[in-house]
């Protein structure tokens, strides 16, 4: 890898650390009278490190062509560079097909992060609508929708996805995102329903109804905005869960299909060389661990910061 690309990678690391420090400074500069959720969030243990990790991988995914010396599917030299160990030219080594591991991890970040984020956005939208309808209208609407949710929670999600994947010979990436999103909204809907059941009895909702607001107008303008805090926390946790699920499916060969790199299928391709070329599996596995732990840390910090029962420091 050239010196310019090494400099670009170091610049991304510095940018990630700077972004975390700027986030902390933005809230620490506020006086004691303005302590609130933002201050509690940046003071939570490990939050700034987690934010820095997420910013790093998100930046790598966005500017992957500028940071990688090769295309992710390019076979450099199947004889001389097969399973080559880490070096200056290949900082994370190469795989069985002489492809640069760093390039594949950088481009794989695009796939893994986008699949997790897009699938969870779909799941959060669907779960919020179903949960809001069940909690607001109650009666038979609540009964029907919640029984549907109970059925969805009772069936193992991995089983549904494996059955769906077995019905097609090639699973497009968009279809994978759709499948993951449509099987990830059940817990979100129950969370939103519980919040809506409490909010719908408050005075500002009753006033909106008394002024002639329609049901869905009240839901979208007055109820759902007040459910945003727990929904954001649920989404942060959900992205980590979906990423793990996508990695598991890709490891089993029914998720993202080679030569398109994802961290899951990179681990699958390197599992037979774990003793002779451990870097082909360790580095993508480490990327998954870091991102998932960072997302869980941020979600925990958001949950504590947005909890109105928490006392300000």
Evaluate whether 57 touches 287 at the Cβ level (below 8 Å).
yes
> Facing residues of 100 across strands?
94
104-to-12, 116, 138, 287 alpha-carbon distances in Å: 17, 18, 49, 12
Quote the pLDDT of residue 308: 56
pTM of the model: 0.86
* 295-231-18 Cα angle (round to 5): 40
Evaluate whether 23 touches 48 at the Cβ level (below 8 Å).
yes
Cβ neighbors of 273 (< 8 A, separation 6 or more) are 83, 95, 96, 280, 281
* Residue at token pair 């309808």: 133
Predicted confidence pLDDT, tens digits, the chain (313 residues): 777 888 888 888 898 888 888 887 777 665 444 556 677 777 777 888 999 999 999 999 999 998 988 888 888 888 888 888 888 888 998 988 889 999 999 999 999 999 999 999 999 999 999 998 888 888 888 889 999 998 888 888 888 888 877 777 677 888 888 988 988 889 899 988 988 888 887 878 778 777 777 778 888 888 888 888 888 888 888 898 888 888 888 888 787 888 888 898 899 888 888 888 899 999 999 999 999 999 999 888 888 777 655 554 4
**Structural domains in the chain plus CATH codes:** 3-81+96-306 (1.10.3720.10)
Quote the pLDDT of residue 118: 93
Quote the pLDDT of residue 29: 65
Q: Report the C-alpha gap between 298 and 240 in whole angstroms.
A: 11
79-to-84, 95, 98, 185 alpha-carbon distances in Å: 10, 12, 8, 47
Q: Report the C-alpha gap between 209 and 134 in whole angstroms.
A: 17
Quote the pLDDT of residue 105: 93
Quote the pLDDT of residue 312: 45
Q: What letters, b where the CB count within 10 A reaches 16 and e where it falls short, cover 234-270?
A: bbbbbbbbbbbbbbbbbbeebbbeeebbbbbbbbbbb
Quote the pLDDT of residue 58: 93
Quote the pLDDT of residue 300: 85
Check whether the bond before 259 is cis (ω within 30° of 0). yes
Alpha-carbon torsion (58, 63, 65, 70), positive or negative: negative
Quote the pLDDT of residue 313: 45
């Amino acid at each position: 890898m050239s010196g310019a690309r090494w400099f670009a990678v170091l610049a991304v690391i510095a940018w990630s650390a700077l972004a975390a420090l700027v986030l902390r400074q933005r809230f620490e500069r506020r006086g004691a009278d303005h302590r609130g959720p933002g201050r509690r969030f940046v003071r939570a243990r490990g939050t700034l490190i987690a934010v820095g990790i997420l910013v790093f991988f998100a930046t790598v995914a966005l500017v992957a062509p500028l940071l990688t010396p090769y295309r992710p599917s390019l076979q450099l030299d199947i004889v001389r560079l097969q399973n080559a160990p880490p070096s200056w030219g290949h900082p994370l080594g190469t795989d069985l097909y002489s492809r640069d591991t760093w390039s594949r991890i950088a481009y794989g970040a695009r796939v893994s992060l986008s699949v997790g984020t897009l699938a969870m956005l779909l799941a959060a939208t669907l779960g919020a609508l179903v949960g809001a309808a069940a909690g607001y209208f109650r009666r038979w609407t609540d009964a029907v929708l919640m029984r549907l949710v109970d059925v969805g929670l009772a069936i193992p999600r991995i089983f549904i996805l494996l059955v769906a994947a077995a019905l097609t010979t090639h699973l497009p990436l968009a279809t994978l995102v759709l499948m993951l999103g449509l099987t990830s909204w059940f817990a979100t809907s129950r969370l939103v329903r519980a919040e809506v059941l409490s909010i719908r009895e408050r005075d500002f909702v009753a006033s909106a109804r008394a002024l002639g607001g329609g049901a869905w107008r009240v839901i979208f303008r007055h109820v759902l905005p007040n459910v945003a805090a727990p929904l954001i926390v649920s989404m942060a946790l959900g992205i980590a869960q979906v990423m793990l699920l996508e990695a598991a499916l890709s490891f089993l060969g029914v998720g993202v299909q080679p030569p398109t790199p994802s961290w899951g299928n990179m681990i699958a391709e390197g599992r037979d060389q774990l003793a002779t070329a451990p870097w082909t599996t360790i580095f993508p596995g480490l990327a998954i661990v870091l991102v998932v732990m960072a997302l869980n840390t941020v979600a925990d910090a958001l949950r504590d910061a947005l909890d109105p029962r928490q006392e300000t420091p």
